Amino acid sequence: MAELLIISTLNGVLFGMLLFLMASGLTLIFSMMGVLNFAHASFYMLGAFFGFQIARWAGFWPALILAPILVGGVGMLVERFGLRNVHKHGHVPELLFTFGLAFVIEEVVQMIWGKSPVDFRVPAILDFPAFTIFATNYPAYKLFMLVISIAIFVALFAALTKTRVGLIVQAALTHPHMVAHLGHNVPLVFMTVFGFGAGLAAIAGVIAGPALVTQASMAALLGPILFVVVVVGGLGSLPGAFVASLLIGLLQTFAVSVNLSLADVFSFLNFTPRPGTTLADLWKVTVAQIAPIMPYILLVLVLIFKPTGLMGTRDT
């Protein structure tokens, strides 16, 4: 039991921190530009594939630096030549633009790297068990992922609260017009923040690529969970996104390891529904089986009891 608790907590925090790497960029972009970037998970995927390609040519460490920079550049171009032009048509076309972009990025990745997963390996230097706990080896690479994501979290927090740029960004989160009136180049700030957010997602992609599966459907698999995170946390709230990321990370990881079903819990009732019926399916399904839909159940519950999200104040 203790083994399960420790390993699941570590994995859960890790998954949560990865989610936050993406959710933070998404939240920054949303708060500032009012557009929820549908293609954010696609930048994560681009990060993983660019990382894979660069790692093949030059090794993992250059990939860890270069891939996020490249993806950040792509993000800036998307903002400058795409989003900025669509902006005048309103928020719905903006959202639809990013939706179309996500669609196109997935197709392009599929066209270049194929539909099947690519062989993105953990670098040899990190390919050993970090520690053994109750006969379970915990891979060093996962620890490395955890360290990187926590380091970025700390750096982001420090940059946002302690530096001048961070203050401008923070101000632009709540009062974008006022910031513009004060003479800051808001379009430039937008472009930088968009590129920066895309870069953060790409870092998540590069470090998650070897541990998870690098394939063309990874954006479509992760994207909806990412949106659940930002809605559950409260749209536009960075602390909310952080709490929700960890919550969903832990929830999903723990759910996977719980093998209980309604039949087990209520076994004292001695009740067996007729096989083949929906009730029988519901009765037999284990928590582990519904782990993938846990975030969505959480989403529905949060919306019923607190429609603005855990820490949200905005109503759009």
Partner 1 sequence: MTGDVLKPSLAPLERTGPLGVLMRSAVWIVLALILAMLPLVFKTGTSLTLMSLMGIAIIFALSYNILLGQTGMLSFGHAVYYGLGAYLVVHSINVVTANKLPIPLPLMPLIGGLAGLFFGLLFGWVSTKRSGTAFAMISLGLAELVGSSALILRGFFGGEEGITTNRAKLLRVFDWSFGPQIQVYYLIAAWCLLCVFLMYKITRTPLGRMCNAVRDNAERVQFVGYNPQVVRFLAFCLSGFFAGIAGGLAAINFEIANFALFSAAQSGTVLLATFIGGAGYFFGPIIGAVLVSYLQVMLSDLTEIWQLYFGLMFIAVVMFAPAGIAGIIMLHQPLVKRGTLLKVLPSYVLALVPALVMATGIVLMIEMIFRISSKEGEEAMIKLFGMHVSSTSPTLWGISAAMFLAGLVACRLTWPLVASAWSRASAAEPGGSAA
In whole angstroms, give the CA distance from residue 94 to residue 116. 31
Residue pair 45/120 in contact by the 8 Å Cβ criterion: no
Of 77, 80, 100, 143, the one binding partner 1 by CB under 8 A:
100
Q: Are strands 136-139 and 129-133 parallel, antiparallel or unpaired?
A: antiparallel
Of 77, 108, 262, 263, the one binding partner 1 by CB under 8 A:
108
Q: Does 311 bind partner 1 (CB under 8 A)?
A: no
Nearer to partner 1, 199 or 309 (CB): 309
Nearest residue to 48 via CA among 213, 189, 174, 256: 213
Residue pair 196/25 in contact by the 8 Å Cβ criterion: yes
Q: Does 78 bind partner 1 (CB under 8 A)?
A: no
Burial class (CB in 10 A: 0-12, 13-18, 19+), 105: buried
Chain centre to alpha carbon of residue 151? 16
Q: Does 13 bind partner 1 (CB under 8 A)?
A: no
Nearer to partner 1, 122 or 248 (CB): 248
Q: Mark the segment that binds partner 1 (CB under 8 A) among 67-75, 89-97, 136-144, 174-182.
A: 89-97
Residue pair 236/312 in contact by the 8 Å Cβ criterion: yes
Q: Name the minimum Å distance from CB 101 to partner 1.
A: 7
User: Segment 209-248, which members bind partner 1 (CB under 8 A)?
Assistant: 220, 224, 227-228, 230-231, 235
Q: Name the minimum Å distance from CB 296 to partner 1.
A: 4
Find the Cα–Cα–Cα–Cα dihedral 147, 152, 155, 157, rounded to 10°. -110
Q: Does 174 bind partner 1 (CB under 8 A)?
A: no
Q: Does 256 bind partner 1 (CB under 8 A)?
A: no
Sequence-distant (≥ 6) Cβ neighbours of residue 128 within 8 angstroms = 139, 140
Residue pair 222/203 in contact by the 8 Å Cβ criterion: no
Of 9, 93, 133, 170, the one binding partner 1 by CB under 8 A:
93
Q: Does 303 bind partner 1 (CB under 8 A)?
A: yes
Binding site for partner 1 (CB under 8 A): 30, 35-36, 82, 85-86, 89-93, 95-97, 99-101, 103-104, 107-108, 111-114, 220, 224, 227-228, 230-231, 235, 276-278, 280-282, 285, 289-290, 292-293, 295-297, 299-300, 303-304, 307, 315-316
